[in-house]
Amino acid sequence: MTQTQAATFPLSHLLPMTAGLSPSGRLAIGGCDTLDLVREYGTPLYVYDMETIRQQCALALGSFRAEHADTDVLYASKAFLNRPFARIVADLGLGFDAVSGGEIAVLGAAGVDMGTVYFHGNNKGLDELALAVASGVGRIVIDNLLEVALVEAAAREAGVTQGVLIRVSPGVDGHTHEKTTTGILDTKFGLPIVTGAAEAAIKAIVDAPHLEFRGLHMHLGSPIFELEPYVAGVEVMAEFIADMRDRLGVEVHEFSPGGGFAVAYLGEQEPPAWSAYAQAICGTLKREADARGFALPHVTIEPGRSIVGRAGVAIYTVGARKEVPGIRTFVSVDGGMADNIRPAMYGSKYEAITAERPFAAAEELVSVAGKYCESGDVLIRDIRLPRLQAGELLAIPAAGAYQLAMSSNYNLAYKPAVVLVDNGSARLIRRRETADDLMALDIG
């Protein structure tokens, strides 16, 4: 693909980096014609572009290490995970943030180095903590006071000393959706500074014989399109770091500003570049460390969406059309809220492109509906598109994060196949579910 093509291809900054025209004039990703992929694997189909994953991992590592060499990148597994994908991400030099026993089990089965796994969650189960400790996860990020005792008990039982961070709730608003803002005081996540809970947890950890206090973590929410919340959050955390040193004599060796880095879903969106997030976070941390006289801690960032969001494209087949004159025209596709709950859950907005004629001009305003039994199952409300024909393919960009990860079998839908494309070749990394899969757990 030439530079000109890349610059002028519709939605090129939302689609994977390799998106372009196939020799037959259709949307190609990773050098694979989307119609060829669909003929082989069916729809709905999730196509992930290896080159975009590679580049985002490299950008995450490179941008942050350019600002602060002692930085590691942990991929937030909950954005999208299975075994082959875990291996890909590990090979690209990232560790992992896990939030459940299931994610730890998958990471373990994938053979990733469990020392690079950090375990999060506001109500980790006893079995999950035992599994985490036994698996040798690098850090457990303690979220509340009860958990100090639970992790201590799990570590004692296993006969190990467990390195821990605490998740601090800094009281900073990430200015994102109310369901996904996590750094404010009124959230279930983390130990607030202002109530004294964070300090109490540190004291309890220092007193626990099988725990080693390593440092602090925050996560402000997702997606965060502004830099200012990170700056404010790091400032609050830095003040707390200095405070804990002065009053408890406790040193913070490690600091995580979490994830939440945004990706563009809509044409007009322009999220900050990796380098801008890195400068805001590491620059503030360095300035604060200098001013307050503490050593720069090891930094771990936890991007999920920004690693995989743009790499994924959801491809659907167009079906029925319903015109309600003067009100709305619905065009239905063969997926919907079972594979993408985000529009129904968060009011998330998307763009779409006719995969077999990417340059076709918009002709009408429609709403793209899913096929499931809820009126709220509308993937895109009001979008200008060419007049869609039944049987043609519609591609939705920026589909790589929190879609399959949050997918369900609602209406006993079969979860879609996932194909990884790279340099003209396609590799199925998850097959489409079948009726047998749906019934596999039935007893009697």
Ligand X SMILES: *Cc1c(COP(=O)(O)O)cnc(C)c1O
Q: Site map for ligand X, 16-55, x if CB under 6 A?
A: ----------------------------------------
Site membership for ligand X, residue 310 (CB under 6 A): no
Number of residues in contact with ligand X, rule: CB under 6 A? Answer: 18
Q: Find the part of the chain contacting ligand X (CB under 6 A) among 24-32, 39-47, 252-260, 332-340.
A: 252-260
Can residue 174 be called a binding residue for ligand X (CB under 6 A)? no
Q: Choose which of 80, 261, 265, 277 interacts with ligand X (CB under 6 A).
A: 261
Where in the sequence numbering do the catalytic residues fall?
A: 373
Stretch in the footprint of ligand X (CB under 6 A) among 71-79, 100-108, 267-275, 413-421: 71-79
Q: How far apart are CA 360 and CA 338, in angstroms?
A: 29
Our finding on whether 343 is near ligand X (CB under 6 A) is no
CA distance 267 to 12: 9
End-to-end CA gap in the chain? 55
Adjacent-strand bridge partners of 370? none
Q: 14, 38, 45, 79: which one contacts ligand X (CB under 6 A)?
A: 79
- Under the binding rule (CB under 6 A), the answer on residue 306 touching ligand X is yes
64 or 261, CB closer to ligand X? 261
Question: Cβ 75 to ligand X, closest distance in Å?
Answer: 9
Please choose, out of 53-61, 218-226, 271-279, 287-295, the segment that lies near ligand X by the rule CB under 6 A: 218-226
The answer to the question of residue 170 lying near ligand X (CB under 6 A) is no
Interacting residue with ligand X among 26, 68, 78, 214 (CB under 6 A) = 78
282 sits near ligand X (criterion: CB under 6 A): no
305 lines the binding site for ligand X (CB under 6 A): yes
Q: CA torsion, points 360, 362, 364, 365, in degrees to nearest 10?
A: 130
- Chosen residue from 101, 259, 343, 400 binding ligand X by CB under 6 A: 259
Nearest distance in Å: CB 188, ligand X:
12
Residue 312 binding ligand X, by CB under 6 A? no
The smaller minimum CB distance to ligand X, of residues 73 and 110, is found at 73
Instruction: Using CB under 6 A, pick the residue from 214, 219, 310, 342 that binds ligand X.
Output: 219
Of the candidate spans 72-80, 109-117, 199-207, 364-372, the one that interacts with ligand X by CB under 6 A turns out to be 72-80
Tell me: does residue 190 bind ligand X (CB under 6 A): no
Where does this chain bind ligand X (CB under 6 A)?
A: 76, 78-79, 97, 120, 219, 222-223, 258-261, 302-306, 401
